[in-house]
Structure 1
C-alpha cells in the first residue's frame, strides 16, 4: 500500500546520490581493471538480465569494499551493485525479478545493496516485500538499509511506525530513518512515550533519540 501522497517514481532526497552521481563516484575511485569489469558487466546485464545472478556476488571481490571518496554514505560494493541493478530493463511489475532474486539468493551484503538500490529503481510497490523481510531479520545492516527513502515513500503508516521501533530495539541509529520528522505522527509519539515509560519502569535507559523526537513533535 502506498504512503499517502507517494508518487509512482520515488523522489530522491537531498544527500542521496542519483544514478549519475553514483557512476561518477565509481569512475573516480575504481582502478582501471575494476572499472573496465564493471562497465562490461553493466552492458552484459542490459543485454542479458539473467547474467546478473553470476555477476552480483563477484562485485565485492572485483570492485572492493571501501567507502566512496566523494559519496562517503556509500560503500563501493553497494554502489557497484546498484549500477548493475540499474542496468536491468524495466519490468511491468515494478521491481525486476532478477533484482528480487539477488536479494533472496544473496548474503547480507548483497541484500543490503538491493535495499539501498530501491530508491533509485522504478520499482513501485514491488520492493515492499524485501523491506518487510529485512525488518523481520533484525540484522542491523539490513534494517538500516531498509528504512531509507524507499520505505519513507512506500511503507504505509503502521508498518513504517514499527520500522522505527525496530531501529530502536536493534540499536540502529534513527538517523538512518529517512524523512523521520516529516512522517512522525501522534500514534508513533504515543508508542515512543510507552516505550520510554516501560524502559524507566524496568530501570533501563531510554534511547537518547526519543526525547528530542517527542520535543520536536510537541513544537509542531
Structure 2
C-alpha cells in the first residue's frame, strides 16, 4: 500500500516526538505489520483465525507502553496502515481492544475502508458514554458515511454528554439547511429550559448552522425606458388645422 501524504506526515511528526528506543520499536513493529500476509488471501485469513494473533497485533496492543499514551493513537494507526488491515481485522481489534485501541481503529477507518462497510464500528462507539470515543467516532468516516438520522442523534448526544461540537467532522456542511436537526435541537433546548437546566452554548451554534441560506438577490433586469411622447412643433399644423 502506498503511503498517503497524511500517513507520511504522521510518521515524520511521530519520529520527531519519540525517543530513540521508541523509534526503533516503531520501525520494527511497522516492518512486521508490512510483512504480514495480506488478509485478502483466503489461506492467510484462515490462518489468522486458527492460530495465535500475528506479532504485529501484539505490537498494536503494547503501543501505549512503548510510545507513551500521548503517541499511542498515532503509532497504532501506522501499524494498521502498514498491515493493510481489512474490515474483519479492524472489527476484531476493535471489539477485543481497550478504549484506546478502539479509538485508534476508528481513526484509521478513513484510510483503510473506502465505503460504508465499517459503519457498525462507528455505531457501536456512538452507543457508549465514553466521551473520547464519541469524539473520535464522529470523525471523517462518519461524516462521509453515517446516515442522516443516526448523524443527527450523534450530534445531539455530543450536546448532552459535553463533547465539543468542534470534534464533529464536516459539521457545517452536514448541518446546513437541516430542518429536522433544527427541530430536534429546539425540542432539546425547550426540555432543558423547562427543567431549569442550562442550554449548552454549542446548541445555539449548531442551530445557527441549520438555517437555510438566504437566496442571493436577484440580478436587476434590463431597463426599459419609455420613449417620450413626440413633441408637437408649433410650426407643424395639427390634423384639424390641415382640414380647415
Using structure 2 for the length normalisation, give the TM-score: 0.74
Asked whether the equivalents of residues 148 and 178 of structure 1 are also in contact (C-alpha less than 8 Å), the reply is: yes
State the 1:166 CA deviation: 1.3
Gaps of 5+ in 2: 38-53, 214-244
Does the C-alpha gap of structure 1 residues 90 and 204 become closer, same or farther in structure 2, counting only changes over 3 Å? closer
Aligned to 1:171: 162
State the 1:87 CA deviation: 0.9
Asked whether the equivalents of residues 56 and 81 of structure 1 are also in contact (C-alpha less than 8 Å), the reply is: yes
Asked whether the equivalents of residues 18 and 120 of structure 1 are also in contact (C-alpha less than 8 Å), the reply is: no
Aligned to 2:192: 199
Q: Please, what is the CA RMSD of the aligned residues?
A: 1.8
For residues 193 and 21 of structure 1, the distance between their equivalents in structure 2, rounded to whole angstroms, comes to: 42
State the 1:178 CA deviation: 0.6
Deviations 1:32-74 (A, max 9, x none): 11111111111111222633321111101111123xxxxxxxx
Q: In the comparison of the two structures, how many residue pairs are matched? A: 192
Using structure 1 for the length normalisation, give the TM-score: 0.82
Asked whether the equivalents of residues 138 and 166 of structure 1 are also in contact (C-alpha less than 8 Å), the reply is: no
Is the aligned partner of 1:87 residue 2:91?
no
CA radius of gyration, larger in: 2
Does the C-alpha gap of structure 1 residues 123 and 218 become closer, same or farther in structure 2, counting only changes over 3 Å? closer
Runs of 4+ in structure 1 off by over 6 angstroms are: none
Is the aligned partner of 1:102 residue 2:93?
yes
- Specify the SS of the correspondent of 2:11: helix
Aligned to 1:125: 116
Is the aligned partner of 1:19 residue 2:45?
no
Is the aligned partner of 1:217 residue 2:221?
no
1:78 aligns with one of 68, 73, 92 = 73
Deviations 1:164-202 (A, max 9, x none): 111112111111101111101111111001100111111
Gaps of 5+ in 1: 1-11, 67-75
User: 1 or 2 for the larger relative contact order (CA 8 Å, sep ≥6)?
Assistant: 1
